[in-house]
Amino acid sequence: MCMPSFRHFFVLLAVVLASNAAFAQAPNLGKPITPAELAAWDINVLPDGTGLPPGSGKPADGARIYAAKCSACHGESAKGGANAALVGAPPMKDMESVKTIANFWPFATTIFDYIRRTMPWRQPRSLTNDEVYAVTAYILSLNKLIGENDTMNAQTLPKVKMPNRDGFIVRFPERIDR
């Protein structure tokens, strides 16, 4: 097992090396890149809401987008089709319980992050940020995790309380850097 002091040594080593202007070994062939140049790729959302873009959406708008772009795979009203249902399922009991957004996903931000990076399956990155917020709002509303008229945006989405937020045990806590 990697001891904490060992890990800290590596972090410290990297910091020391990075702060040293003269890299004897490093080829230094990386080219600097600015946030503006990176904007189109910069899509990570963190569970505290960091990375959520401007924009907003409501469940009713999301329902229209869902019907056009999501229902073919996930079924009418997100009840499931060729691919997973996005509503329902009782609380988790064991390995045979079906994992759904309402009974399993610990953070609402994951819904936005995943739709924006991966969905629709055949046309990822084709939705605008407003559309991603709207579909996220629609799914949360179907699961009764927000109200029918609630708006999802960078401020409201991270505050949505997910039922299974405390349903996890970190397998090897010593592997996580604190």
End-to-end Cα spacing for the chain: 16
List, in order, residues 6 or more apart from 57 with CB less than 8 Å away.
130, 131, 132, 133, 134, 135, 136, 137, 151, 152, 153
11 binds other proteins per the rule CB under 8 A = yes
Q: Which of 68, 99, 144, 148 binds other proteins (CB under 8 A)?
A: 99
Contact 55, 111 (CB under 8 A): no
**Binding segment for other proteins among 11-19, 57-65, 129-137, 149-157 (CB under 8 A)?**
11-19
36 binds other proteins per the rule CB under 8 A = no
Count CA atoms closer than 13 A to 112's CA, side-chain side.
33
CB of 93 to other proteins, least distance (A): 5
CB of 19 to other proteins, least distance (A): 7
Site residue total, other proteins (CB under 8 A): 68
CB of 155 to other proteins, least distance (A): 17
